[in-house]
Amino acid sequence: MAAERSRGVSRTVLPGGLRVVTEFLPAVRSVALGIWVGVGSRDEDETHAGATHYLEHLLFKGTKRRTALELSSEMDAVGGEMNAFTAKEYTCYYARVLDADLPLAVDILSDMVTSSLITPKDVDAERNVVLEEIAMNEDDPSDTVHEAFTAKLFGDTPLGRPILGTTDSINKITRDQIFEHYQARYTPEHLVVAAAGNLDHDTVVELVRQAFGPALDQVAEPAPPRLAGDQRGSQAGVGTTLISRSIEQANLVLGCEALARTDDRRFALGVLNAAFGGGMSSRLFQEVREKRGLAYSVYSFAGQHADTGMWGIYVGCLPSKADDVLAICAEEITRVVEGGLTDAELARGKGQVRGSIVLGLEDPSSRMSRLGKSELVYPRLEPVEEVLASIDAVTHDDIRAVAADILTRPKTLSVVGPFDDASAFQA
């Protein structure tokens, strides 16, 4: 249980397998705290679809010691912020408080994670809230087109299904199913307490030990990081998905399967993506918006999971311009596959990725997220200097190789807009 310490980051494993990871930031007067759970929507079977996100809502509804109002009012009373999010492969409950109020934040978040009641009454009340959230996402065509793209790419698998679940799955799921999910997944060996800010590691460890109490009585080792999944070997979806909507804009996502989270080529793909469609100087932005004025929003993106990933292009344009925009995107993909990047583009791509990483670590919340996420889904916490060196080491040959592999893969196209015939679009 001795703490491991390196460059301001300390790590301790408590009985039961609970990990506490902190980073001391002396220049701030606050602390960002997160309790990370190694469960996401891809861990659900069909009968539990949406349970992970539903459970995230329910943990704010009251514990054995606090009502829902008391949970929020105690945090509000010290000017703190508290929230949560659910992803495909993990869930996080987080707070940011003044350094003096860290004991309260540890107590509240730990209370929620270990002692939530999840009463039938709260389950029924929150069901409508979750359904409203699903409806809100479905009302946003940019969200809808990304969901449709993911569903087409990964198919009817846990990774391809929406994090929120569907209207049907949320209406069907029971309190017992959600509580079963809670008891099975929210155990110390699957939890990481991450904190960054003006703190003392040993003090945080003792606060966590007291807050979790009897939950640490079981003997267990920490769950290993999520380095694999059930998607490897699955055939990525191809073709076109059309969701017809009477709206003024066409929303398009064109893309393909890409790299897993720990693939060494992820740095080259990140640099390529930045130069290709990651900013106002990128090829896509210049060709589609600046030169031709065909779209207001256009960008490329990359996402990674344990065993696979995605790369794609999003465009929002007038319906009458959709064919022209897709043709330009196809041309630019071909051009970068055949010719790579210029020296200037390579330098800009590296600078953009490097800058976004460093600027993103300027506040305690980002630092805390880096600690928690790394503990759950990476083999180790990569030093920032090592990551930056890997970005700087990307060469033209690396760019050409990753472009030839990834950007030439069969494509999936998702369209949301005022169209009737999916066959009119070619992925």
Residues carrying an active site annotation: 56
User: Shortest CA distance to 259 belongs to which of 278, 236, 279, 243?
Assistant: 236
Tell me, what amino acid is at 423? S
Residues 5/15, Cβ–Cβ less than 8 Å = no
Residues 351/177, Cβ–Cβ less than 8 Å = no
Taking the C-alpha atoms of residue 158 and residue 365, their distance in angstroms, rounded to an integer, is 29
Residue 238's Cβ-count burial label (10 Å; 0-12, 13-18, 19+) is middle
Taking the C-alpha atoms of residue 417 and residue 317, their distance in angstroms, rounded to an integer, is 10
Taking the C-alpha atoms of residue 341 and residue 396, their distance in angstroms, rounded to an integer, is 7
- Residues 6 or more apart from 25 whose CB is under 8 A from it? 8, 196, 197, 198, 364, 367
User: Shortest CA distance to 223 belongs to which of 195, 194, 191, 193?
Assistant: 191
Taking the C-alpha atoms of residue 427 and residue 425, their distance in angstroms, rounded to an integer, is 7
Residues 318/352, Cβ–Cβ less than 8 Å = no
CA quadruple 157, 162, 163, 164: dihedral positive or negative? negative
Taking the C-alpha atoms of residue 306 and residue 89, their distance in angstroms, rounded to an integer, is 8
Residues 191/110, Cβ–Cβ less than 8 Å = no
Neighbours of 20 (CB within 10 A): 27
Residue in the structure block whose two tokens are 């904190």: 195
- β-strands 30-37, 91-98: how paired? antiparallel
- Residues 6 or more apart from 277 whose CB is under 8 A from it? 283, 284, 285, 298, 299, 300, 301, 313
Neighbours of 3 (CB within 10 A): 14
8 phi-psi bin (left φ>0, alpha ψ -120 to 50, beta other): left
